Amino acid sequence: MTNKPRINLLNLDGDRLASFIAGLDEKPFRAKQLMRWIHQRGVSDVDQMSDLAKTFRTQLQDLVEIKSLPVISDQTASDGTRKWLLDVGEGNAVEMVYIPEEDRGTLCISSQAGCAVNCRFCSTGKQGFSRNLTAAEIIGQLWYAEHHLRNDPKAIKRVDAYDKTTLAHEEGRVISNVVMMGMGEPLLNYEPVLSAMKLMLDDNAYGLSRRRVTLSTSGVVPFIDRLSQDLPVALAVSLHAANDALRNELVPINRKYPLAVLLDSCKRYLEFAPRDFLTFEYCMLDGVNDSDKQAHELIQLLKSIKCKVNLIPFNPFADSGLKQSPKSRIDQFAKILLDAKMVTTVRKTRGDDIDAACGQLAGEVQDRTNLAQREIRWMEKN
């Protein structure tokens, strides 16, 4: 038996797995067989992969493992939303959320332990940043949730999701949509996120369409451009303000990539996007960004780009210093946008009784950015 660390096959997308198999002098179709066993059937024991030669299975047992993140806790909200807390080691934990609906099952995935962007309305950012997740830790969230939920009688199963000739024993896929909207800024962990999304789209793995995989970003412009060339999935941009002065306060990365630069990159991305529009997310903060004037300002800002605006009622958390806009104010803000023929939705709050709603994911993170100390020094100077 080798003393080298085992290779976690969840870390390998289709191309990397094919290279690994080639290095073992095995035929290329073995890679597809492995992917189907791992991602479509959820098998983690190589010995159970019955259509692989026994000698090959024995070889793999000495070299590889199929391992996702350990689950610390599993909570279900009154509306059926489910949240898992996952151990990523060294005192750090991340969260993922499953949102069941009649026509879809959406999984919200984390990409980092903590977040360095530090948006004012997001509880994750208040913890600071510990580390990036690996591709295995990212796709492992989907791997665990998909196969765990198949045993849940309340989960909706889509029987047309898979080829029955290869998965005759399966009742169908549970998760139909994935959103990279959990803890972290996905584009600041680019390569592992890219590798994980390739598996989401691979027909030998999860077979999701690009329209059903959404990446949400605070606006890391160079990587928006890279993503448009590497793997253009649905894109959601965390906007939250229609002018640079306010967005500098709410989304600090705007100081590096101001709105004009960000919107130019969005227009470039739209040329390659799987949909003919982009989504802009706008968290409704009482007395901060929710006035009629700011609604008209938003219309002017976005008038030259085909888009949908998703208004998100703020989900309060301790020490945020912010309040959710009243429903009447959100409705009025939405009406102004709709009257201007702008496609607008108000996100339904899900899972807020278990802190699983948008902006509430916090996990447990040992801050390597010393965020708390930096904030104290800043307050002392000001």
Token pair in block for residue 272: 């390659």
Q: CB-based burial of residue 113 (10 Å sphere; 0-12 exposed, 13-18 middle, 19+ buried)? A: buried
- Give the Cα separation of 28 and 188 in Å (integer): 33
Q: Is 95 assigned a catalytic role?
A: yes
AA letter at 320 = S
Of 115, 283, 307, 358, catalytic:
358
The region, left, alpha or beta by phi > 0 then psi within -120 to 50, assigned to residue 252 is alpha
| 363: CB partners within 8 A, 6+ apart | 85, 86, 92, 93, 94, 95, 110, 113, 114, 124, 127, 183
Q: In this structure, is the dihedral angle defined by the CA atoms of residues 302, 305, 311 and 314, taken in order, positive or negative?
A: negative
Q: Is 119 assigned a catalytic role?
A: no
DSSP state of 324: B
Token pair in block for residue 15: 């191309």
Q: Which stretches within the chain are classed as H helix?
A: 14-23, 29-35, 54-63, 135-149, 190-201, 221-230, 244-250, 259-270, 292-302, 327-339, 371-381
- Give the Cα separation of 186 and 193 in Å (integer): 6
As a dihedral over the C-alpha atoms of residue 215, residue 9, residue 107, residue 236, rounded to 10 degrees, the angle is: 0
Partners of residue 107 on adjacent β-strands? 98, 178
Of 26, 95, 170, 185, catalytic:
95
Could you list the active site residues? Answer: 95, 358
